[in-house]
Amino acid sequence: MSGERVIGGYTLRRVLGRGGMGEVHLASTPTGGLAAIKVIHPELARDPAFRRRFEREVAAVRRVARFCTAPVLDAGMDGDVAYLVTEYVKGPDLAKAVREQGPLSGSDLEALAVGIATALGAIHGAGVVSSG
């Protein structure tokens, strides 16, 4: 158990991805399940203006329909660390799927486009992103 990092009761297992705001980890939940946890860079999380914006965005994300995005399970601060926990959706990312199976076409591509448009509409409607 030594060396394991626990944030908000979630045990980080491995990095799934990195971005400008932080890292996304596969994590074990307190009940033994799996979740994805986005851990915000500490220098951002310490900024009071960022923390207020983060809280507003978490509230907005919770309003997005479950079928459009991975549902938010938890969010908060653990010391100087801000985190957002969502349901873990197992599967390859789009880049890996295209590398392994080739470019999408026909009804597969159309289904992806409709799904993305539906999700973006729901996300915009919840106030997570704006069109300006």
**Residue 49 resides in a domain:** yes
Flag whether 90 is in a domain.
yes
pLDDT-based confidence at residue 9 (cuts at 50, 70, 90): very high
Residue 69 lies in a domain: yes
Number of domains in the chain: 1
Domain-located, residue 131: no
Question: Is the pLDDT assigned to residue 6 strictly greater than 80?
Answer: yes
64-89 pLDDT per residue, tens: 776 667 888 899 888 888 999 999 98
User: How far is Cα 84 from Cα 24, in angstroms, rounded to an integer?
Assistant: 9
Residue 118 lies in a domain: yes
Residue 130 in domain: no
88 part of a folded domain:
yes
pLDDT in tens, 83-105: 999 999 887 778 888 898 898 88
The average confidence (pLDDT) of the chain is 84
- CATH number, domain at 19? 3.30.200.20
Q: Which domain holds residue 43?
A: 6-125
Q: pLDDT tens across 103-115, in order?
A: 888 988 888 888 8
- In a domain? residue 27: yes
Burial 97-120, CB ≥16 within 10 A → b, else e: eeeeeeeeeeeeeeeeeeeeeeee
